[in-house]
Amino acid sequence: MTDTDESLLQAFASTRDEKAFRALADRYLGLVFHTAMRHTGHRQIAEEISQNILCALAKKASSLARNPERLPAWLHRATLYESSKAMRAETSQQRRQFLQIPPVSPPEDSAWSDAISHLDAALDQLPDADRRVVLLHFFHNRSFPGIAKSLGKSTVAIQKQSQRALEKLAHLLRAKGVTLTGTVIATGLSSEFAKAAPASLVQSATTAVLTGTAGYSTTSLTLMFAAKSKALVPLVVLLCVLPLALQQVAISNARSRIARLQAGPPATRTAHSTPPKATVRSDPNNLSAWKNLAYRVTLQDAHSMMNYMKDKRIELELRERLEAMTPQEILEKMDQITTWDLPGINGLQGRLLEAAIAKDPSMTLRHFESQIANCPDNMRFPLVKAFTKWLQNDSAAATAWLDAMRSSGKLECTSLGNRNSEQCHNQMMADFLGVVISDLLKSDPTLAIQRFKSLMPDQRMALINYQFRNLEPGTEAAFVNLVRQGVTEDQSNFILTYRNSGYAKIASKMAQEGGFAQVGKFLDTIEATPVERRSFAEFVADRGLSRLIGGENAKVTRAAVDEMRAWLAVQSPQDADRITGIALARNANAGENFQAAAAIVEAIYQESGSDAVLVAFLENVKSSSSAREQESMATKITDDNTRRKILLKLKPNVPPPSGDGSASPSQP
C-alpha cells in the first residue's frame, strides 16, 4: 500500500486499517491543531477541536477518498467552522472562569505576526481552487508539477494560479491593515504550515477515535456541513450519531457541574489569594475589595486571551478604581500584588503602571529608581514612555534626573551593544538618552551633538541603530549632521548602506510624500557627499518610481522610468543603470508587473549596452512564474562569469552555456 492520501483514505474506509488512519492523523493534525490555535488562542480547546475533526475524518473517509486532493482544504475549512462554534460556546462566563488553560505565547515581533490573526479567514475567502493549490503546495509540500498532474493542468497554469492566490491573500490582508508582499506571505505560510501537532495529541486523539472513546462536543456536529463538496455525510449517519452525541454532551456537562459544585471556588495556595464570593465595590483602600478585584482581573487575563472574551464589567470596575486612586496609591498596589498568590500579574501590573504614568510620570520613575538597572522588558517601554512624558512637561527636571542617575551608576553599563548583548542586559540608558537627544535635535542641535559625542563609540552606534529610526519632521538635517560629527567614517558608511537605518527611513519617507524632487532638495540642503547621494538614490528609487506610477501594484511605464533616470543622472550618474534595475525588479515583485518591467529593462540595455541594468534586475526579481523569460534575459549578459552565475541561480541543475551569450539556456 502506498502512502498517498487516496490510498490511506481507501484503506481505512474499506478495512478500518488503523495504520492508515494514524498516518493520516500524523500528516494532517498539525494543520488542524495550529489552525485551531490561531483561531481560538487556547491549547485545550484546540486539542478538543482536533479530536472532533479526526472523528469527522473517520466518518467521511470513504467520500473524501473519491476526491483526495480536496482533503487539506476540507480539513482547514472544517477546523475554522469548528473553531468558530467553539469560541461562541466559550462566551459562557462559567466556563471561562474554570477552564485552566495556559496562555499562548505571542508571535515574534514582525510584520508576519500582525497577519497571523487574519491568516485563516483570508485563506477561507479564497476560491476553492486557489485555496486547494495553496494548501497542497505550502502545507503538503507538493511541487507545482505534482499538483498539476493530480489536477489535470499544466505546471505553468498551477504556478500562475499559486502566484495569483498569494496576491489575493495580500489584498485580503491589506484590507485588514496588514501590508505584505507575496514573497513574505509565501515564506510565512511555509513556516506556519511546517509546525507539527504535539506528539502526545497525535497519539491520544488517534487512539480515542480508533477505540471509539472520543466524544463529540456540540460544536463538532456542525463541521459535517463545513465542506462545500457534494460528498456530504449521509443523513442516516447523522441521525444515528445525533442522539448519542447529545447524550454524551448532557452527561459530560452534568458531571462538570457536579464536580464544580463539590469543589467550590478554585483553590489557591494562600488565604490571601481566595477572593470573597461576592463582588464588593468600595473605596480604593478597602483591602478585601481590592484583593477580590485583583484576583478576578488576573484570573480573566490568564484564561481569556482574546479581548472579546473578557468580561467588560471587570475591566470597568478596575478602571473606575484606578481613577479614584492617587499615583502613590497605585504604585503601592503594584508593590502589594507581587506578594499575593495570583494566577498571573503581568497584565495587571502593566495596567497599574500605565495608570500611574498617566497621573504622574516623574513620581513613577522615581518609585522605580532602584529597580531600573534590572527592569524586565515588559516594564522598560512603559518607563521610557513615562520619561518621554516627563521630558515634554518639564525637560530641565527630567534631564537633571537622568544625569543624576547616570552619575550614580544606576544606568551605566560597559557597552550598550545590541539588544541581545550579554555585556549589557539593561537598555534603559540607551532608551532614555535617545529620548533626550531626539528632543534636543528639535530645539538645540549643537547641544544634542555635544551629548552624543560624550558617549562611548559603541554607545553612539547603538543609539543610531535603535533610537533614530523614526525621526520627527524637521530634524532630518540635524540628524545627518549628528552622524557626520559623532561617528567614524567607517561607521557612517555602514549606516549609509543599512536599509533599516535612520538615513533609509528619511529617504523612504521623503520619496513617498514628495517624490524625487523633495529628496533632491533635501540632499542639496545638507550639501550631501557623493556617497550620501548614492545611498539615498538606492533607498528611494523603487519608492519614488512607485509613486510616479500611482502605487506599488500599478503598471510601470517607460515615461516614469525615464523621469526616475533623469533624477539618478544628477544624484548618482555612475550607478543609474544598476539602481534602475533594482527599482524595476522591486516594482515587478510588488504585483503583476514582470512583463512590463522586463521589457523596459531590455530596452534600456539595448540603448546603453550596459550589463548593469540586466544584472541588477535579475539579481533582485523574485517572480518564480517568469523563469523562462529571466533565463532568456540572462543569456544577453556579455560578461561570461556574471552570465554563468545568474544562469546557475536560475537553473541550478542545468550547466550554463558558454561563449558569447547567444546560446539557449537549455542547451548542455
> How does pLDDT run across 610-621, given as a tens digit for each residue?
899 999 999 888
Which amino acid is present at 379? Answer: M
Chain-wide mean pLDDT for the chain?
75
Beta strands in 374-427 (DSSP E): none
Report whether 76 contacts 124 (CB < 8 A). yes
Q: What is the pLDDT of residue 600?
A: 92
- Residue 16 pLDDT grade (very low, low, confident, very high; cuts 50, 70, 90): confident
561 vs 602: CA distance, rounded Å: 13
- Residue 58 pLDDT grade (very low, low, confident, very high; cuts 50, 70, 90): confident
- Residue 166 pLDDT grade (very low, low, confident, very high; cuts 50, 70, 90): confident
Interval 549-566 mean pLDDT: 85
109, containing H or E segment: none
Report whether 463 contacts 497 (CB < 8 A). no
536, containing H or E segment: helix 530-549
Quick one: CA torsion of 423, 428, 429, 430, rounded to 10 degrees? Answer: 80
Q: Is the pLDDT of residue 254 over 80?
A: no
CA–CA distance from 360 to each of 316, 348, 509, 567 (Å)?
22, 18, 34, 51
Q: Between residues 194 and 102, which one has the greater pLDDT? A: 194
244 alpha-carbon distance from chain centroid: 43
Residue 104, burial from CB neighbour count under 10 angstroms (0-12, 13-18, 19+): middle
Cβ neighbours of residue 411 closer than 8 Å, sequence gap 6 or more: 372, 373, 402, 405, 426, 428, 429, 432
Interval 141-166 mean pLDDT: 81
Cβ neighbours of residue 582 closer than 8 Å, sequence gap 6 or more: 538, 541, 542, 616, 617, 620
Give pairs for 124-132: CB < 8 Å, separation 24+.
124/76, 124/77, 124/80, 125/172, 126/165, 126/168, 126/169, 128/73, 128/228, 129/161, 130/161, 130/164, 130/165, 130/168, 131/73, 131/76, 131/165, 132/69, 132/70, 132/72, 132/73
133 vs 57: CA distance, rounded Å: 21
Q: What is the pLDDT of residue 443?
A: 87
Q: What is the pLDDT of residue 479?
A: 86
* DSSP structural state of residue 42: B
Read out DSSP for 138-187? IIS---HHHHHHHHT--HHHHHHHHHHHHHHHHHHHHTTT----HHHHHH
CA–CA distance from 258 to each of 254, 262, 403 (Å)?
6, 6, 63
654 vs 635: CA distance, rounded Å: 14
Report whether 429 contacts 406 (CB < 8 A). yes
Q: Is the pLDDT of residue 390 over 90?
A: yes
13 vs 534: CA distance, rounded Å: 66
39 vs 78: CA distance, rounded Å: 12
Report whether 447 contacts 395 (CB < 8 A). no
Q: Is the pLDDT of residue 665 over 80?
A: no
Alpha helix (H) residue ranges in 572-659 = 576-590, 594-608, 611-620, 627-634, 640-650
Q: Is the pLDDT of residue 397 over 80?
A: yes
pLDDT, tens digit, 9 for 90 and up, residues 378-388: 677 888 889 98
Backbone torsions φ then ψ of 42, nearest 5 degrees: -125, 125
User: Cell digits for 619?
Assistant: 539579481
- Residue 389 pLDDT grade (very low, low, confident, very high; cuts 50, 70, 90): very high
Q: Is the pLDDT of residue 376 over 60?
A: yes
